[in-house]
Amino acid sequence: MRILKDEGGQALVLTALCLMVLMGMMGLGIDVGYMRYQQAQLQTAADSAAIAAGLEIGNCSKAVCTNMKTAAAQALIEDGITGSTITPTANQCTVSTSTGLAMIINVGPCVLGSSDPNYGSSSMTEVVLTESVSSFFGSVIGIPTFNLVARAEAGEANYVNPGAGNCIYTKGLEYNSSNGQFTLTNCGVYDSGNLQTNSGDGVTASSFLYFGTWGPNNCNSSCTWTLGDSETQPTHTTTAQTDPLASLTPPSQPGASTTASQTTPNNGTTLQPGYYSNGINLNSNVTVNLTPGLYYMNGSINVNSGATLECTGCTGGQGVTLYFSNGTLQPNSGSTVQLTAPSTGGTSSGNVANMLIWEGSSNSSGMTLDAGSSSYFNGVIYMPDGTLTLNSGSGTTINSKSTATAVDVNNIMVNSNVSFVINGGGGYLGGGAPVLGTFALAE
């Protein structure tokens, strides 16, 4: 009986039970900490993948395409999330659990539905990563795995933060006559010199700043200003902005192109990149194709009425840069020019990111876009000493099929009854550094 009534050892039993509970809590704490670490890693990867996918929006015509999937999948490898390429699912608005690592890419965020302020926007990419991660101790309490989800959105910075950048920089914007129209999507205008307008002129943009003087002439109440930032007309600023591309190093002159001698190419000719010591003249009804790369020109490229200059291989980030040490690109009335700049590269590699038409600093040749030309320019038009002239044409729209354009020129001359369209972005320069426009993480 004395043995049965002896309470010695009870503390040992209680201590053992408490240790079991404590060890369980420690195990759960380890699992929770590990899952939080894995979640943070997954979120970082989702952010990177969203930006990588978004940078391909212009090249993919604002839809999920193979290049976008490849770029996003590569971002996961570079972040150390996976060692092999995964195949993303496109345009799926419902997220379900996965047995391993899985990715969803949407152009036009839709997972959160209408509560997302960016819901359905074709200027935004949405990436969702799901991953099932095994726990260390969770299986003891019936939780062998944790299902992790990370979501990110990215888009043009001017869309994420309207008015964040300019896609037109000039030292003088002059409406030479009446009824000239500029339509800019998700970007603004900066005029560092003398602004001149006339009756019936107008601009649609996220912002419109001018540093010098403004001569409204007959504009007054007949002009139309559709601007962000509560602007009712162009706003005078006392803050001078310098040419954002002034520090850009021109490309070195490459070796002669293998097709440099074809100064008047025949119909169906494909030209190769390299140095051209003379200009190129496309006669009427001739179609000429450019192979992606750098074209270093010591003369003009004239595209006459009925002729077409294109780059059928400018897809998936590939493109052309037309650098003019002398001369310019001249698409005449009735011609067609459809060109896209490369999305990556630098002046030393022969592919200059987002630079499409580039005139040297001492080249004062102007470029005229005739209203009768069916042209679009995806990339930066940079003429630091030249004038971009938009010729007259009632009801005619120039550049309406572009997906990303930016203009940095000495002067812009707008003649009567012409409409010029710019769909924002396209201002990325060598190495991905944003200058005229930016791309940013939204969520």
- The answer to whether the pTM exceeds 0.85 is no
Three-state SS for the chain is CHHHHCCCCHHHHHHHHHHHHHHHHHHHHHHHHHHHHHHHHHHHHHHHHHHHHHCCCCCCCCCCCHHHHHHHHHHHHHCCCCCCCCCCEECCCCCCCCCCCEEEEEECCCCCHHHCCCCCCCCEEEEEEEEEEECCCHHHHCCCEEEEEEEEEEEEHHHHCCCCCEEEEECCEEECCCCCEEEEECCEEEECCEEECCCCCEEEECCEEECCEEECCCCHHHCEEEECCCCCCCEECCCCCCCCCCCCCCCCCCCECCCCCCCCCCCCCEECCEEECCCEEECCCCEEEECCEEEEEECCEEECCCCEEECCCCCCCCCEEEEEEECCEEECCCCEEEEECCCCCCCCCCCCCCEEEEECCCCCCCEEECCCCCCEEEEEEEEEEEEEEECCCCCEEECCCCCCEEEEEEEEEECCCEEEEEECCCCEEHHHEECCCCEEECC
pLDDT band at 395 (very low <50, low <70, confident <90, very high): very low
72, 243, 295 from 125: Cα distances, Å: 11, 30, 33
Q: What is the pLDDT of residues 397-425, one digit of tens each?
A: 677 677 678 889 999 998 877 778 876 55
- The partner residues of 89 in beta bridges, in order of sequence, read 104
Length of the chain in terms of residues written: 443
What span, in angstroms and rounded, lies between the C-alpha atoms of 137 and 21?
A: 13
Question: Checking DSSP bridges between strand 235-236 and strand 213-215, what pairing results, if any?
Answer: unpaired
Residue pLDDT, tens place only, 48-85 = 888 888 877 766 767 898 888 998 999 898 888 888 88
| Longest CA pairwise span in the chain (Å) | 119
The one-letter amino acid code at 123 reads S
Beta carbons within 10 angstroms of residue 397's beta carbon: 14
Express each pLDDT in 263-302 by its tens digit. 999 999 999 999 999 999 999 999 999 999 999 999 999 9
Q: Determine what percent of the chain is predicted with pLDDT higher than 70.
A: 78
Predicted confidence (pLDDT) at residue 329 exceeds the cutoff of 80: yes
How far is 338 from 150, CA to CA, in rounded Å?
A: 39
The answer to whether 145 touches 135, Cβ cutoff 8 Å, is: yes
Q: How do residues 1-35 score in pLDDT, each as one tens digit?
A: 555 555 555 666 666 666 665 665 565 666 677 77
The tens digit of pLDDT for each residue in 193-215 reads 889 988 888 898 888 889 989 98
